[in-house]
Structure 1
Amino acid sequence: MSIIINSVILLAILGFFAGSFLAFAEKKFEVKEDVRVIFAESLLPGINCGACGYPGCSGFAKGFVNGDVKPDGCLPGKRQGVPEKLIKLSKISDDELNKIWEEIGENPDKIKEKF
């Protein structure tokens, strides 16, 4: 009976240390996403057609934020007013965007309501 108890205790200790290591690694190696890319991607139609020359809306959003593509590069988004929204987004400061991001609870679905 003591073998079973010792085994359970050993597994609990190993589980605790493994969990602690994973929690530490998550914080240490966390990848911060650019809020501008999240905002730009949320304003796009999301059909990932590739008509802009990028492999989907996330690629276009990254290209727009980096200045590699013009706001009117999204062909399906032209009818939905995406270029105007992206231009408006590009004029907002990083501090204001971070404030909006916190205000909406870091929920990308609520971004379209702000624009």
Structure 2
Amino acid sequence: MEVVYMNMASPIRHIGIFCAFAASIMPIAASAETIGNVKIRNVGNQGTQLYALLEVVPPGCANNVAYHSSETQAGQYVMSILLSAKLTQRPISRMDYTVRAGGICWIDLVEI
């Protein structure tokens, strides 16, 4: 009986190259939505969740509240930007958000 060994590195390498090529040419749907020129009515925290009360209801959201976590450094930066916008009465020029279950909006990025 003859034993035949296959070199699996070559087929695996070809699959990897195909996946990399396919990923570079196929469009990927963005998971975040963007809204701009929004005034902040209020900011606060509830436990470890920061929130911003917006003048408008962002598309897809259940209400005009957007949340972010205070447990991360990014969340603390988001809160400082939101506070700055609130105190200076400047609108947010851009807010990227993700709509989670129940229409709850979660801030991904915020710019003044």
Common fold: TM-score over 0.5: no
Higher strand share: 2
Smaller-chain TM-score bracket: 0.3 to 0.5
Task: Give the TM-score normalised by structure 1.
Answer: 0.35
